[in-house]
């Protein structure tokens, strides 16, 4: 029986339950968050707030927790999640208590807020929402705004030495942009969310450049002729020292150059992982040899270079906390997944047939992913290649799918699915769009059903690729 103050779409909420002596569980709290607060990754642009008013108000109400710990701010179009995790792993290897805020999550809301790789406790999420629900209702923040402030509050309570804060969307108006970090990092610029950030690379870069703060050093991962002038101009305006990582560091895989192989994938926490060995060159000279990283993928070398440049800057500005030794980099990279619970990027989740998932979802990411897929002798040299390619894919409905589908190979067999979010593009519509690009397959009622069908159809020597949206990947992890 429903209580008098419940509505059909609204279960018992935290403060109501407390008032009548009932306990509220984690699931009910999440239902409240998802139902009451606009969530960009579920509903799209309608949830995007174009100012920092709500975040500032929430922070002030909580005593400005973001000012109680040091931070590193990481933005960009692609790679910012990977760079954030790598930086967190390196900081943990340095002995620092490390907070990590990322978005969105794959399976568990708590993936967004971690301290030394441990998710924020369920009880803390429940208590935070229950204690502050009156203020939440008054300010009416977005889901993302509330998550950011919840992370700040938890990091302050945990007395972290450093927190790695990943930008959600853009930079200038992103809720995370209330912090004053030790270092700002912008990985790269590519086309994504043009309806919110602008239709050209300079316009997108200008939004990303919004995280550059007066006097705070900034590392740019990749030099691009259209975005570099934007970053240089912004840095000059605010007096921020700026360096481009790719102008100093180059990271490559020596086994690819020599034609050698790697060992078979190792199983870690029930998931097959494929560590990569890198050689690092600094200003043209071999700098670090045989750097083992618990990551894979065509884009990670650039991310590692960005982290190396970032760490070098951090050593210069905070030598007591950031050790002037690259052993911590080796330790952090080698133990990345176990230290931070890194997931979803170029991750092998099954064998015979090989099942590979990746979160690439925009033009630049998909182009790189499929370029690497085509080079089977490199990517799957330890698995002896594959006979046939099966692709499970899905997109959100506000994405310009045509610009993405052009990178998908016609020779693959397709399994189209709708991610289980309101923004998910209907599988039948995606199948029709894909057919216009010579991509053929069937539509399925869910991502899980699509993957089951791919497994039934695939031979042990085939490759199943799950790609197109972080939400599609999240349903198979």
The DSSP call for residue 223 is: -
Q: Which range has the worst mean pLDDT, 38-42, 142-146, 203-207, 339-343?
A: 38-42
CATH 3.90.190.20 in the chain, residues? 347-474
Q: What is the DSSP string of 148-214?
A: HHHHHHHHHHTT-SEEEEE-SSSSTT-GGGG---SEEEE-------HHHH-SSHHHHHHHHGGG--T
For the stretch 27-41, pLDDT in tens is 989 888 887 665 544
For the stretch 412-430, pLDDT in tens is 999 999 988 888 899 999 9
Q: What is the pLDDT of residue 77?
A: 86
C-alpha angle 141-145-147 in degrees, rounded to nearest 5: 120
Q: What is the pLDDT of residue 324?
A: 67
Query: What number of other Cβ atoms are within 10 A of residue 323's Cβ?
Result: 17
Residue 3 pLDDT more than 50? no
Q: Which range has the worst mean pLDDT, 19-23, 91-95, 383-387, 470-474?
A: 19-23
Q: What is the pLDDT of residue 209?
A: 95
Among 213-217, 424-428, 469-473, which range has the highest average pLDDT? 213-217
Residue 399 pLDDT more than 90? no
Q: What is the pLDDT of residue 361?
A: 78
For the stretch 61-74, pLDDT in tens is 999 999 999 999 99
Mean pLDDT of the chain: 85
Among 37-41, 112-116, 343-347, which range has the highest average pLDDT? 112-116
Over residues 204-225, the mean pLDDT reads 95
Q: Which range has the worst mean pLDDT, 230-234, 252-256, 387-391, 430-434?
A: 252-256
CA 166, 170, 171, 177 torsion-angle sign: negative
Which residues sit opposite 101 in a β-bridge? Answer: 113, 165
Q: How many CA atoms lie within 13 A of 56 on its CB side?
A: 7
Over residues 145-173, the mean pLDDT reads 94
- pLDDT band for position 58 (cuts 50, 70, 90): very high
Among 104-108, 151-155, 269-273, which range has the highest average pLDDT? 151-155
Answer whether CATH 1.25.40.10 is correct for domain 347-474: no
Topology annotation, domain 68-96+161-340 = 3.40.1190
Helix or strand (DSSP H, E) at 219: strand 218-220
CATH 3.40.1190.10 in the chain, residues? 68-96+161-340
Over residues 357-377, the mean pLDDT reads 81
Residue partners of 331: CB distance under 8 A and separation at least 6: 93
- pLDDT band for position 12 (cuts 50, 70, 90): very low
User: Comparing 13 with 282, which gets the higher pLDDT?
Assistant: 282
Q: What is the DSSP string of 286-320?
A: EEEEEEEES--STTHHHHHHHHHHHHHHHHHH-TT
What does each C-alpha distance from 218 to 187, 239, 309, 349, 404 come to in angstroms?
10, 11, 10, 36, 31
For the stretch 250-274, pLDDT in tens is 999 875 443 333 333 443 333 344 6
Residue 81 pLDDT more than 90? yes
361 and 370 Cβ atoms separated by less than 8 Å: no
Q: What is the pLDDT of residue 385?
A: 57
């Amino acid at each position: 029986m429903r209580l008098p103050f419940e509505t059909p779409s609204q279960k018992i909420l935290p403060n109501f339950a407390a008032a009548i002596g009932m306990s509220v569980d984690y699931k009910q709290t999440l239902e409240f968050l998802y139902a009451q607060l606009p969530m960009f990754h579920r509903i799209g642009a309608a949830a995007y707030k174009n100012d920092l008013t709500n975040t500032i108000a929430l922070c002030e109400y909580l005593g400005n927790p973001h000012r109680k710990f040091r931070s590193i701010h990481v933005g960009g179009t692609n790679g910012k999640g990977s760079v954030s995790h790598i930086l967190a792993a390196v900081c943990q290897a340095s002995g620092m208590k490390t907070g990590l805020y990322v978005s969105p999550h794959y399976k568990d809301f708590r993936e967004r807020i971690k301290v030394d790789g441990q998710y924020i406790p369920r009880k803390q999420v429940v208590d935070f929402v229950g204690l502050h629900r009156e203020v939440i209702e008054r300010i009416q923040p977005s889901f993302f705004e509330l998550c950011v402030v919840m992370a700040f509050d938890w990091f302050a309570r945990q007395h972290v030495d450093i927190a790695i804060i990943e930008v959600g969307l853009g930079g200038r108006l992103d809720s995370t942009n209330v912090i004053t970090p030790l270092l700002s990092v912008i990985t790269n610029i590519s086309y994504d969310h043009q309806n919110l950030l602008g239709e050209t690379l300079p316009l997108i870069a200008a939004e990303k450049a919004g995280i550059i703060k007066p006097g705070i050093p900034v590392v740019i991962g990749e030099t691009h002729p259209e975005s570099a002038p934007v970053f240089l101009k912004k840095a000059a305006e605010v007096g921020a020292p700026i360096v481009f990582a790719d102008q100093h560091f180059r990271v490559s895989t020596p086994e690819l150059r020599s034609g050698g192989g790697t060992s078979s994938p190792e199983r870690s926490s029930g998931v097959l992982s494929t560590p990569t060995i890198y050689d690092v060159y600094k200003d043209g000279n071999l700098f670090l040899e045989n750097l083992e990283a618990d990551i894979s993928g065509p884009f990670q070398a650039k991310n590692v270079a960005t982290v190396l440049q970032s760490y070098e800057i951090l050593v210069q500005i905070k030598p007591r906390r950031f050790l002037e030794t690259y052993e911590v980099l080796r330790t952090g990279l080698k133990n990345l997944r176990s230290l931070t619970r890194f997931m979803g990027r170029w991750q092998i989740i099954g064998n015979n047939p090989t099942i590979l998932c990746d979160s690439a979802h925009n033009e630049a990411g998909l182009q790189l992913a499929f370029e690497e897929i085509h080079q089977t002798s490199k990517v799957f040299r330890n698995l002896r290649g594959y006979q046939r390619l099966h692709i499970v894919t899905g997109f959100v409905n506000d994405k310009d799918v045509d610009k993405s589908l052009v990178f998908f190979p016609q020779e693959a067999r397709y399994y189209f699915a709708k991610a289980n979010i309101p923004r998910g593009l209907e599988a039948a519509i995606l199948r029709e769009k894909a057919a216009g690009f010579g991509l053929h397959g069937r539509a399925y009622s869910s991502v899980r059903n699509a993957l089951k069908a791919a497994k039934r159809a695939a031979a042990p020597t085939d490759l199943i690729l799950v790609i197109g949206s972080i939400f599609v990947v999240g349903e198979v992890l």
